[in-house]
Structure 1
Amino acid sequence: MCNLYSMTRTQDAIRAFAKALRDYAGNVPPLPGIFPDYAAPIVRTSADGVRELATARWGMPTSQFALMEATKKRAAKLEAKGQTVDFKELLRMEPDSGTTNIRNIGSKHWQRWLGVENRCLVPFTSFSEFNRDAGGDIWFALSEDRPLAFFAGIWTNWTSVRKVREGETTNDLFGFLTTEPNAEVKAIHPKAMPVILRTEAEIERWMTAPANEVPEMQRPLPDGALQVVARGTKQDG
């Protein structure tokens, strides 16, 4: 699971590569360590069909089933203490920090966001997979100079409780697809790697193809396409 990545290229570079004609992201500094629930740049297609650069919080809405199970556990603990529980309200206020990596696109929970209106590009320059025995965070990039590429992402606008201290808020949220790992990532993390887009053709297909083509695009990079560029640090670049 990838829960840490970096993005250190400029907004101009992102807009040019992704063909984004609008920029609502403000001033985005180099981001050498992006963690779950951080705000980060994405490129999406607006309602009028124009591609735009914006920011969103990393972590799509968690499934209702998972939130229900978490709420049941919390309710049981409160009831064990003799407290009265309003389960509906408890469920509404259940904290949901979000789902960062999306693998099971056959789930009804995710299928609603696979259309082009909810697809996005998540720019990155390197990403980390954690392996304690290998030295902690192992950073991968397309090459040593860390060129710009994109994760195949989805986004939505959502009202929920991200953090208890914030209460209920409405935010633009994003996550990205994962798939089986290629050889380099598998040596560190055998379960998954992000779906990565490297070329203009891959970007255009991700942003424009019909939803029934998404499973074809959920595939790993070829073996040899990535290299380890850093180890044991929470930031890169």
Structure 2
Amino acid sequence: MYRLDATADEIAVALGAQAGRDVWQGGGVVPGGFAPVVVQGRDTRRLVPRLWGVPPPPRGLNVVTHVRNLDSPFWIGTLRHSEYRCLIPMTAFRGGRDWFGVEDQPVFACAGIWRDSEVVSFAMITVAGDGLYPAEKVATLPLILAPEEFGVWLRADWKLARDLVRIGASGLRRIT
């Protein structure tokens, strides 16, 4: 679960995108719900609504909301094509029992991918969080990108974009 307490226009400004026709007014985002993501067009980034949760792989039962294994045959084709990578804007995410945000970034972005196969949907890239907050033992965290990394994630060759994947995140703050 994550929160996106910002309007489409506020998200667009924070992530250098065009809001277009997205009518997002802010609030909580749960699996199976719609939320805006930022995709790279030919010349501009734009907000588009997508459903959180990619249809499962063959023999899978549940939608997939998080991508942990970047080498999985189910994901690698999508990840190698930059046009299927996206930014997932958020204002807070849940880690264990606590909510976390990013210092000095009221709206921040994590790495994601989107698909159009059965439904227009997206999934969040996550990384190991163990040891970052020893008391809470946050197992996974969204792959939070710094603003200067947005273009690399959205446009670069997979070999360069994959270098953004790292353990943990810096600048996190607990939100009460």
| TM-score normalised by L of structure 1 | 0.67
Offset at residue 151 of structure 1 (A):
1.0
Q: Deviations over 1:85-127 (max 9, x none)?
A: xxxxxxxxxxx4x111101010110012112110001100000
1:229 counterpart = 2:156: no
Match of 1:207 in 2: 154
Match of 2:102 in 1: 142
Offset at residue 30 of structure 1 (A):
1.7
Offset at residue 18 of structure 1 (A):
2.3
Q: Give the residue type in structure 2 aligned to 1:208.
A: R
Q: Give the residue type in structure 1 aligned to 2:9.
A: D
Do 2:141 and 2:168's aligned partners in 1 also have CA atoms closer than 8 Å? no
Match of 2:32 in 1: 37
Which of 1 and 2 has higher RCO (CA within 8 Å, sep 6+)? Answer: 1
Q: Supply the RMSD in Å over aligned alpha carbons.
A: 2.1
Q: 1:227 to 1:22 in 2, by over 3 A?
A: closer
Structure 2: segments with no counterpart, 5+ residues: none
Offset at residue 189 of structure 1 (A):
3.6
Greater Rg over alpha carbons, structure: 1
1:100 counterpart = 2:65: yes
Offset at residue 182 of structure 1 (A):
6.4
Stretch deviating more after TM superposition (172-181 or 10-19)? 10-19
Do 1:184 and 1:227's aligned partners in 2 also have CA atoms closer than 8 Å? no
Match of 1:218 in 2: 165
More helix by share: 1
Structure 1: segments with no counterpart, 5+ residues: 68-95, 131-136, 160-170, 231-237
Q: Which runs of 4+ in 1 moved over 6 A?
A: none
- Distance between the aligned counterparts of 1:148 and 1:182, measured in 2? 24
- Distance between the aligned counterparts of 1:101 and 1:185, measured in 2? 20
- Give the fraction of aligned pairs with identical amino acids, expressed as a percent: 27
Q: 1:110 to 1:183 in 2, by over 3 A?
A: same
1:128 counterpart = 2:80: no
Offset at residue 198 of structure 1 (A):
2.7
Offset at residue 63 of structure 1 (A):
1.8
1:188 counterpart = 2:136: yes
Number of residues of Structure 1 aligned to a counterpart in Structure 2: 175
| TM-score normalised by L of structure 2 | 0.88
- Distance between the aligned counterparts of 1:116 and 1:204, measured in 2? 10
Q: Secondary structure at the match of 1:9?
A: coil
Q: 1:66 aligns with which of 60, 63, 75?
A: 60
- Distance between the aligned counterparts of 2:134 and 2:34, measured in 1? 28
1:116 counterpart = 2:82: yes
Do 1:22 and 1:50's aligned partners in 2 also have CA atoms closer than 8 Å? no
